[in-house]
Amino acid sequence: MLKLQSPPCSTYIRGIVSQVLCSTGPARAPSPDLHSQPPGQIQPGHHHGSRQGTITGPPPSATSTYLAKAPSLDLQASIPGPPTRAPSLDLHHPQPPHPALAPSLDLHPQPGRVTMPLKPYTRDKDSSSLLRWDEVPDDFVECFILSGYRRLHLTAQECLASIFQPTNETLNFWTHFIPLVLFLSKFYQVLFLAGELPFHHPALLPLWCYASGVLLTFAMSCTAHVFSCRSLRLRAAFFFLDYACISYYGFASTVAYTYYLLPRLDLLDPTVMTPYLHSLGWHRVDYSLLLGVYGELVLPVAFVLAVTCTVACCKSRSEDCSYPFAIRTFVFAMPLSMACPVMIESLLFDLRMKNPTLFVHFYRRYFWLLVAAFFNVSKIPERIHPGLFDIIGHSHQLFHIFTFLSIYDQMHYVEEGLEHFLKAPATYHLPTFSGTVGYMLLLTLCLGLVVRTYLKGLTNIKQN
């Protein structure tokens, strides 16, 4: 089976189910001894001071009376492995094993391990029926999510219909589709209706880049969550593209910061920082030269970070990755370092008084991002109660909500920076096509090559 995700999730869920069945299942009754002493006698156990023993042949009423008083004897306590159903007392009609306790499917059986032949995944006539975690490929299993899985190989129409059904992907879609519509309306107003400049004016090029990053991120996330059950290869392709769009958005944010946000900071104004450095005794520092180097490197460094993050996230879906969610969260936090000048500005100068809009929305955005990262890594609340939050309330839905809130706050101070940029165009350099859209097109090409490379690698693994 082609595996795109870290295998411990399905194994960990199997252990959780076993523990739940052990702790909540019925008490184990002692096995009857059919070849023992005459009725009514009890064979004592071999433990000193214990009352354990085996009842042999008493009448049914006597057996019930004895079982109500004496502790049960567990003859399989020393046998390791998953819990098993108590043996049926009806020798002519034995009970079938519980479905959750059936032997696990294993493509690579080990000596002494019970395995079952893998059945091909076929499309059920009732596409609305949902499956449990042990009825889908391991690549589809999410940690601590036990039910609500869709069948593999659904048609496109069935995938679209599933967004109106209670599956574990339904709210994953809606928590990004609704923000997509809201941001689409917002960008349309800003670019076409609000200002006096035409939509193709060079001053709006960074906003076009930023808008494309936001909208592509939400659109690709919705697409991935809806059509991920079409096939294993399409599932991999959609999520690789999802990672690429997130990196694209991170770079687009840096482009908007470079033109609308950073030039307004005292930290990047040599007329303010040079006297400040002289007051600290740093007389030999050529701050104008440092700012020139920073201005030349900020976009190329952000470009390299975007490609690196995409490579790391695609790599995190391989089998040998132990902590995929932590890795993805960390690598996507790397582009946030491009906003460090704003943090330094708030430490050195009174940013709250000078620019309250930027101060409030900037730090609230990073608070939402920290909360989103917490849910994405911890897998709370489904970790606390597996199975309870399969449809509503699991961590990925909360991750989507807080991510939307962070981008919503970011949109506020980007729009405010645009208004200030349009009021004082003479002091700023107008954006160029090559410095904005040209960068975005080149990044799109590089990210496409990364996704194509990893998809080709998965195809080779599957063929081998």
Residue set of the binding site: 225, 396, 400
Rounded CA gap, 363 and 114, in Å?
54
C-alpha distances out from residue 342 to 235, 336, 348, 372, 416, Å: 38, 11, 10, 21, 15
> For helices 232-256 and 287-315, what crossing angle results, to 10°?
170
100 within 8 A of 20, measured Cβ to Cβ? no
Sign of CA dihedral 78, 84, 88, 92: negative
Strand partners, 252: none
* DSSP string of 95-151, one letter each residue: PPPPGGGSPPP-SS--TT----PPPP----S-TT--B-GGGS-GGGPPTT--S-BPP
Residue numbers in the known binding site for Zn(2+) are: 225, 396, 400
Residue type present at position 88: S
Q: How many other β-carbons are positioned within 10 Å of the β-carbon of residue 370?
A: 12
Rounded CA gap, 383 and 373, in Å?
15
What are phi and psi for residue 54, nearest 5 degrees? -120, 125
User: C-alpha dihedral over 388, 330, 442, 180, to 10 degrees?
Assistant: 30
> Which residue from 20, 237, 26 is spatially nearest to 146, judged by alpha carbons?
20
